C-alpha cells in the first residue's frame, strides 16, 4: 500500500502502533481503577482496600483491638495496612504495564508516563 513512499510506510506503522498503545493504556487505566487490592497489618486485624491506582476505598479494623491503652498500636497498624495496600496497588500497576508493553512489543524496561 505504501510501496514507493520510502520511509512513509514505517511512519504509518509507527502512528498506528502509537494509536493502539494509547487505546490500550486507556483501557489499562480503567482496569486499574476497578481492580481492588487489599493490604493488611497485624495478622489481618487491620485491612485496607484500594484500587490498583492507589485510591483507598475501605478500612476494616477487628473490634478486638479497640482498647484505649492500645491506641498507638492501632494507629501503627492502620498506617502499615495503608502502606501495604499502596505497595500492592503499585505492584499491580507495574505488572499490568509490563504485560501491556510485552503485548505491544515494547522493551520491558521502557518507562511510560503511568
Span 79-112, pLDDT tens digits = 898 889 889 888 988 888 888 778 777 776 666 5
Q: Would you kindly state where each structural domain of the chain is located, as residue ranges?
A: 11-104
Predicted local distance difference test score (pLDDT) of residue 113: 57
Residue 4 has pLDDT above 70, yes or no: no
Please answer whether residues 67 and 28 qualify as being in contact, where contact means their C-beta atoms are separated by less than 8 angstroms: no
Please give the DSSP secondary-structure letter assigned to residue 46. E
Express each pLDDT in 13-53 by its tens digit.
878 887 888 888 888 888 888 989 899 999 999 898 988 88
Predicted local distance difference test score (pLDDT) of residue 43: 93
Superfamily, domain 11-104? Nucleoid-associated protein YbaB-like domain (3.30.1310.10)
3-state SS class at 70:
helix
Amino acid at each position: 500500500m505504501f510501496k514507493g513512499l520510502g520511509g512513509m510506510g514505517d511512519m504509518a506503522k509507527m502512528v498506528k502502533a502509537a494509536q493502539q498503545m494509547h487505546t490500550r493504556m486507556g483501557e489499562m487505566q480503567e482496569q486499574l481503577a476497578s481492580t481492588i487490592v487489599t493490604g493488611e497489618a497485624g495478622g489481618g486485624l487491620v485491612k485496607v482496600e484500594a484500587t490498583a491506582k492507589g485510591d483507598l476505598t475501605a478500612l476494616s479494623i477487628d473490634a478486638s483491638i479497640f482498647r484505649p491503652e492500645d491506641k498507638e498500636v492501632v494507629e501503627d497498624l492502620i498506617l502499615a495496612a495503608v502502606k501495604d495496600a499502596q505497595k500492592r496497588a503499585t505492584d499491580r500497576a507495574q505488572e499490568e504495564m509490563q504485560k501491556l508493553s510485552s503485548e505491544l512489543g515494547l522493551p520491558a524496561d521502557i518507562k511510560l508516563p503511568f
